[in-house]
Amino acid sequence: MKIFGFAGWSGSGKTTLIEKLIPLFVERGLKVSLIKHAHHTFDVDQPGKDSYRHRHAGCTEVLVSSSRRWALVHELRGAVEPGFAELLERLSPCDLVLIEGFKRERMPKLEVYRAVTGEPLLHPQDEDIVAIASDQRVETRLPQFDLDDATGIAAFVLRHLGMR
């Protein structure tokens, strides 16, 4: 599995960009998966639903299955959050794993940057950033893309990973 990350501050547009890239990779016949790191408490099932009720009653894992999809929710219940490598091991085999978050992990990354966030660029301090996508021109020697250039960014990612 090839791995490529997207790093940037909250509000920079990482999720929106990745959402545009996924269909472009899939159109090329690639099987794509994604790991997203959430910094806050999150829920994938809704209050009142059976899976939610069972999890809140104390289950460590709740697996919900249908003819269209299945999902496994694992409650840590005080255990240590799994590391990046362990999460990768839990994925089914695929061609390309996109990573949103996990800024400190070693992998090639595209920095998604918007000045409006008020945050500094990550790339001067992160040697794993191989390109930047921004809504404005940035002073760097790295390849740069407009945030709306999903086609160009997708081509760069595939070229960088040797998948083209």
pLDDT of residue 163: 97
State the average pLDDT over residues 31-42. 85
Question: Considering the domain boundaries, does residue 128 fall inside one?
Answer: yes
CATH number for 125? 3.40.50.300
Domain count, the chain: 1
How many Å apart are CA 134 and CA 148, to the nearest integer? Answer: 9
Residue pLDDT, tens place only, 130-142: 999 999 999 999 9
Question: Considering the domain boundaries, does residue 35 fall inside one?
Answer: yes
Owning domain of residue 102: 2-40+81-160
State the average pLDDT over residues 24-38. 95
Counting residues of the chain whose pLDDT is more than 70, the rounded percentage is 98
In sequence order, the 6+-apart residues with CB closer than 8 A to the CB of 41 are none
Find the DSSP H helices in 28-59. 50-57
Three-state secondary structure of the chain:
CEEEEEECCCCCCHHHHHHHHHHHHHHCCCCEEEEECCCCCCCCCCCCCHHHHHHHHCCCEEEEECCCCEEEEECCCCCCCCCHHHHHHHCCCCCEEEEECCCCCCCCEEEEECHHHCCCCCCCCCCCEEEEEECCCCCCCCCEEECCCHHHHHHHHHHHCCCC
Confidence of residue 6 (pLDDT cuts 50, 70, 90): very high
CB atoms < 10 A from the CB of 90, how many?
10
State the average pLDDT over residues 110-137. 95
Question: Considering the domain boundaries, does residue 29 fall inside one?
Answer: yes
Question: Considering the domain boundaries, does residue 75 fall inside one?
Answer: no
Question: Considering the domain boundaries, does residue 74 fall inside one?
Answer: no
State the average pLDDT over residues 80-85. 92
Q: Strands 129-134 and 144-146: what pairing?
A: parallel
Confidence of residue 147 (pLDDT cuts 50, 70, 90): very high
Question: Considering the domain boundaries, does residue 76 fall inside one?
Answer: no
Confidence of residue 103 (pLDDT cuts 50, 70, 90): confident
pLDDT of residue 40: 65
What type of residue sits at position 102? F
In sequence order, the 6+-apart residues with CB closer than 8 A to the CB of 38 are 101
Confidence of residue 86 (pLDDT cuts 50, 70, 90): very high
19-23, 71-75, 81-85, 106-110: range with lowest mean pLDDT: 71-75
> Given a cut of 90, is residue 101 above it in pLDDT?
no
Confidence of residue 26 (pLDDT cuts 50, 70, 90): very high
State the average pLDDT over residues 82-87. 93
